[in-house]
């Protein structure tokens, strides 16, 4: 948080800098509530939700085991900007 405004880091921008051999600073400024996330879990023909969830506990010796519990889920997720009129973007990139 900076002066009451939300600051959200995006690691993908660092990956872009590394891939293009550049140094850059990018920032988004928007009003509260303008970044949205939605998910969709549609129904199957049998009426049950079309979502898969699996939990597995691995008990064997070695890496990845030792009683750890792993989970996997399947659903559709979308993240986006709700109104582009309330968004400002700044970028500085140098080679």
- pLDDT > 70? residue 70: yes
10-27 burial, b at 16+ Cβ within 10 Å, e below that, comes to eeeeeeeeeeeeeeeeee
Domain ranges across the chain? 11-94
Q: What proportion of the chain, given as a percentage, has pLDDT over 90?
A: 0
Mean pLDDT (whole number) for 60-81: 74
**What pLDDT digit, counting tens, does each position of 76-87 carry?**
778 888 888 888
- pLDDT > 60? residue 47: no
79/60: higher pLDDT: 79
- Quick one: pLDDT at residue 44? 55
């Amino acid at each position: 948080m900076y002066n009451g405004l939300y600051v959200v880091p995006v690691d993908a921008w660092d990956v872009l800098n590394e891939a293009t051999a550049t140094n850059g600073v990018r920032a988004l400024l928007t009003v509260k509530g303008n970044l949205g996330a939605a998910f969709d879990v549609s129904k199957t023909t049998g009426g049950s939700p079309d979502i898969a969830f699996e939990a597995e506990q691995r008990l064997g010796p070695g890496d990845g085991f030792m009683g750890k519990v792993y989970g996997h889920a399947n659903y559709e997720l979308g993240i986006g900007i709700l109104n582009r009129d309330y968004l400002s973007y700044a970028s500085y990139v140098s080679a």
